[in-house]
């Protein structure tokens, strides 16, 4: 066979393989877009575990009607222009791939209105056929509707689990994302039933409520507060007392500049800190937020953006180890505990 370029549709479907593993991955990408658009409130409606329908509605800045088609094209983004911009990217997205990928494996409708315009506009894509935008009633903000996920990629569809399992992943994801943004309201429903209502509030009360929603009230009662700053690295959150260890690594939430990540270096630093106080086979529980200059961390490591690379990994590792070691040692020494502000 001779060489030929792949059609846009096939190229997008291949890219979708990297980003869209299951319905929860769609919800992640759509919610990240809503947060990047400055939304104060997001509504997630799911039907059939997310396979039949995922609808995310936000009150963010919206998309200009002339850009609706571009929003769905691959490598089109409003978030960066130059590769150098990656060094200080503050948005959760930047690859300009998610909507194109999702649209290539579902029936997608994008409706949006910006503040300046009197009405909203809607564009529909099915697999790859895109109809021109048409006027549609919509308040300021954006609604993305994704129906029949993987309808045209049966191989992917086969990997989906039960409706209950897929929805479980979605719920877990929304709780996770909501942890980092107590200033944003998140509502989630499944098959018309309200499952989560996380109202926005400033201050520690809402933050505690969301930690309890994600990790359970017991975690909060057995958690030691962490708030440490050194050399431009800032860590806050909670680590559970060793007595609250888990048989699985299921309550481990780590955010870097508001982005949830799974990182080997972080995992290692935490394990080291718990080494003397945790028996083999047990896993610590924690919710931690690391903040640092975006220039010190590379977020462009993997399409799902679950991984990061620290430019000075060694110092980040040592900082984390020391901060957590001290928190745990303080607890053992029976120092009076205090709640983080
Ligand atoms: P990325 O987020 O990496 O830029 P996406 O494919 O997720 O790529 O989105 C493409 C573009 O569409 C974004 O850069 C943004 O300008 C626009 N967009 C997507 N979702 C929203 C939304 N909910 N509100 C406003 N703009 C959006
Ligand atoms: Mg995006």
Residues 287, 314 share a domain: yes
Q: Please state the pTM of the whole predicted model.
A: 0.93
How many angstroms is it from 67 CA to the middle of ligand 1? 10
**Ligand in closest contact with the CA of 98:** 1
Closest-lying ligand 1 atom to the alpha carbon of residue 56: 23
Q: Where do the H-state alpha helices sit in the chain?
A: 8-19, 23-36, 68-71, 98-104, 154-158, 163-180, 204-215, 217-221, 264-274, 313-332
Pick the more confident residue, 140 or 338: 140
114 has a pLDDT exceeding 80: yes
| 129: β partners | 126
Please tell me the predicted confidence (pLDDT) of residue 18: 87
pLDDT band at 203 (very low <50, low <70, confident <90, very high): confident
Q: What is the rounded average pLDDT of the residues 96-108? A: 95
Name the residue with the closest Cα to ligand 1, atom 2: 93
Name the residue with the closest Cα to ligand 1, atom 17: 71
Give me the CATH number covering residue 306: 3.30.230.10
Residues 186, 282 share a domain: no
Q: Predicted ipTM?
A: 0.99
Residues 246, 190 share a domain: no
Residues 261, 183 share a domain: no
With the CA atoms of 30, 34, 37 and 38 taken in that order, what torsion angle do they form, in degrees rounded to the nearest 10?
Answer: -160
Q: Which of 111-125, 156-170, 228-242, 295-309 has the lowest mean pLDDT?
A: 295-309
CB distance 79 to 93 below 8 Å = yes
Residues 147, 30 share a domain: yes
Averaged confidence pLDDT in the chain: 92
Q: Which domain holds residue 239?
A: 216-331
Report which of 153, 35, 267 is spatially closest to residue 27, judged by C-alpha positions.
35
Report which of 14, 43, 30, 40 is spatially closest to residue 189, judged by C-alpha positions.
43
How many angstroms is it from 287 CA to the middle of ligand 2? 24
- Ligand 1, from 56, 62, 71, 72: best to mutate by most atoms within 8 Å of Cβ? 71
CB distance 317 to 268 below 8 Å = yes
Name the residue with the closest Cα to ligand 1, atom 12: 71
Residues 56, 155 share a domain: yes
206 located within any domain: no
Name the residue with the closest Cα to ligand 1, atom 23: 34
């Amino acid at each position: 066979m001779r060489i030929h370029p792949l059609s846009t549709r096939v190229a997008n479907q291949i890219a979708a393989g990297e980003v869209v593993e299951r319905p929860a991955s769609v919800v992640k990408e759509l919610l990240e877009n809503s947060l990047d658009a400055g939304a104060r409130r997001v509504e997630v409606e799911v039907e059939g575990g997310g396979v039949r329908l995922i609808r995310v509605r936000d009150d963010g800045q919206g998309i200009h009607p002339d850009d609706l088609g571009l929003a769905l094209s691959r490598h089109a983004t409003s978030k960066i222009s130059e590769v150098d911009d990656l060094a200080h990217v503050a948005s959760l997205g930047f690859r300009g791939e998610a909507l194109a990928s999702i649209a290539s494996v579902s029936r997608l409708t994008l409706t949006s209105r910006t503040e300046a315009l009197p009405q909203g506009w809607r564009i529909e894509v099915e697999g790859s056929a895109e109809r021109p935008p048409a006027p549609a009633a919509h308040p300021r903000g954006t609604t993305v509707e994704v129906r029949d996920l993987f309808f045209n990629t049966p191989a992917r569809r086969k990997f989906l689990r039960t409706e209950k399992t897929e929805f479980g992943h979605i719920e877990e994801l929304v709780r996770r994302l909501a942890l980092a943004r107590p200033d944003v309201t998140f509502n989630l429903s499944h098959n018309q039933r309200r499952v989560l209502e996380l109202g926005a509030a400033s201050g520690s009360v809402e933050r505690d409520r969301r930690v309890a929603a994600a990790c359970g009230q017991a975690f909060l009662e057995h958690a030691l507060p962490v708030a440490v700053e050194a050399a431009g690295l800032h860590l806050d959150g909670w680590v559970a007392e060793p007595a609250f260890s888990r048989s699985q690594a299921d309550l481990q939430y780590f955010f870097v500049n508001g982005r949830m990540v799974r990182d080997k270096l972080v995992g290692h630093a935490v394990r080291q800190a718990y080494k003397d106080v945790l028996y083999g086979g047990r896993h610590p529980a924690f919710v931690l937020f690391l903040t640092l200059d975006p220039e010190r961390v590379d977020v462009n490591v993997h399409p799902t953006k679950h991984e990061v690379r620290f430019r000075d990994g060694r110092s980040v590792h040592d900082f984390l180890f020391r901060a957590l070691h001290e928190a745990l040692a303080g607890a053992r020494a029976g120092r009076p505990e205090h709640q983080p502000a």
